[in-house]
Structure 1
Amino acid sequence: METQALKILGIDPGLNHTGYGVIAYLPGKITLVDSGVLNVPKGELYERLAYIYKGLAEIIEKNRPAVSAIEKTFLNTNAQSSMLLSHARGAAICAAAVQGLECREFSTREIKKSVTGYGAAEKQQIQEMVARLLRCEDKKFSEDEADAIAAAICYANTKIILGMLPAQKKLGVSGTAVARKGSSSSRVRGQWTKLVGGLK
């Protein structure tokens, strides 16, 4: 029996722009299903949150993902901005939860490391690597869109997914094959390089 791909929804929440990306995951293969950005109209806070909620609900209804992933809240010097971002995250998480989806949270560093191998990667590096991993080099992903897809890829690359599908190659948080006990960090980096190189 052919293994069915696991659909994962990644969300990059924002009160002005909320990115989303749905990927289909099979061990050793990631395919883009749908992606884009919800451009939230100006208005009262409750109206904007409702727009995010309804928009993501429609995307979930259309693509039927099995799970979802979202970036954790990070605190910056502007407390007001952090609070507004938290509202947007809440609307996004609720949209997934009401549809019966688990919503796994990852830190910014975890997501960047999973996709690029470097936890402090720049936005452009994420955009380029997402396109490469999906074999969509000709497509230009926006920052919000790429960040959302990266969250979904991070989920696919973690041990959370192991056991849900028969893994041909078990992937760790960094996107590398899971290292054996006692293996060196240089070996892990080499595995990542080999994995990415195989996508050319």
Structure 2
Amino acid sequence: MRILGIDPGSRTTGFGVIDVVGQNRIYVASGCIKTQGGPLAGRIKIILDGIAQIVATYKPDESAIEQVFVNVNPAATLMLGQARGAAVAALVLAGLPVTDYTALQVKQAVVGNGHADKEQVGLMVQRHLRLSGVPQADAADALGVALTHAQHQGGAAKQLAAYRMSMKRGRMA
């Protein structure tokens, strides 16, 4: 399974692509879509087009995106929400299933501590994916989202398999 993780931002949107092969998580690609400021409508188009190009290039099977947190600055939160909406729209238009994860869930899954800082996330992403260096912060966060999705999907698949194994002719065995 190939997973595309997204860390949305109105100026920099991180992306990370991993393959899941059994218990292995394999790095495919990561990077950032930079919007260089300007009017919000133009930045949203850059994000929409950028995500569409990433999907066309890497052909993921599933996608995951970090949820927006409420900031002390309502205007910044609104802009971030619109950037996230552009990313979600690109994923949905491409026919991908989209799963949301909070920053707390990502940090918990990747680092084991929901209050980890960005540096810890980057170092653990490097370790999990056996990378030679720490990815840029937004790309590392996006790879963390993809790793979180892989972990959650694997757990759900194991639960479903265990449930199916305990069933016999529609009854619990």
Q: TM-score, normalised by structure 1?
A: 0.76
User: Is the CA contact (8 Å cut-off) linking 2:125 and 2:134 kept in structure 1?
Assistant: no
Structure 1 residues not aligned, in runs of 5+: 1-5, 171-200
Q: Which has the higher helix share?
A: 2
Aligned to 2:94: 99
Aligned to 2:168: none
Instruction: Using the TM superposition, give the Cα deviation of residue 159 of structure 1 relative to its aligned residue in structure 2, in angstroms.
Output: 4.2
**Percent identical:** 36
Q: Please report the RMSD computed on the Cα atoms of aligned residues, expressed in angstroms.
A: 1.4
Instruction: Using the TM superposition, give the Cα deviation of residue 119 of structure 1 relative to its aligned residue in structure 2, in angstroms.
Output: 0.5
User: Partner letter of residue 41 of structure 1?
Assistant: Q
User: Partner letter of residue 27 of structure 2?
Assistant: L
User: Partner letter of residue 91 of structure 2?
Assistant: A
Aligned counterpart in structure 2 of residue 121 of structure 1, from 116, 121, 138: 116
User: Is the CA contact (8 Å cut-off) linking 2:134 and 2:140 kept in structure 1?
Assistant: no
User: Is the CA contact (8 Å cut-off) linking 1:70 and 1:151 kept in structure 2?
Assistant: yes
Aligned to 2:38: 43
Q: Which has the higher strand share?
A: 2
- Of structures 1 and 2, the one with the larger relative CO (CA 8 A, separation 6+) is 2
User: Partner letter of residue 150 of structure 1?
Assistant: G
User: Is the CA contact (8 Å cut-off) linking 1:24 and 1:30 kept in structure 2?
Assistant: yes
Aligned to 1:74: 69
User: Is the CA contact (8 Å cut-off) linking 1:37 and 1:145 kept in structure 2?
Assistant: yes
1:89-138 Cα shifts (integer Å, max 9, x gaps): 000000100000011001110000000111000100000000000011x2
Instruction: Using the TM superposition, give the Cα deviation of residue 43 of structure 1 relative to its aligned residue in structure 2, in angstroms.
Output: 1.8
Instruction: Using the TM superposition, give the Cα deviation of residue 160 of structure 1 relative to its aligned residue in structure 2, in angstroms.
Output: 6.5
Is the partner of 2:135 in helix, strand or coil?
A: coil
CA distance in 1, matches of 2:18, 2:7: 14
Q: TM-score, normalised by structure 2?
A: 0.88
Is the partner of 1:158 in helix, strand or coil?
A: helix
CA distance in 1, matches of 2:112, 2:154: 18
User: Is the CA contact (8 Å cut-off) linking 1:155 and 1:161 kept in structure 2?
Assistant: no
User: Partner letter of residue 145 of structure 2?
Assistant: A
CA distance in 1, matches of 2:69, 2:36: 24
Aligned to 2:138: 144
CA distance in 2, matches of 1:114, 1:84: 27
1:6-46 Cα shifts (integer Å, max 9, x gaps): 00000001011000000001231000111001111222111
Structure 2 residues not aligned, in runs of 5+: 160-173
CA distance in 2, matches of 1:76, 1:48: 20
Aligned to 1:64: 59
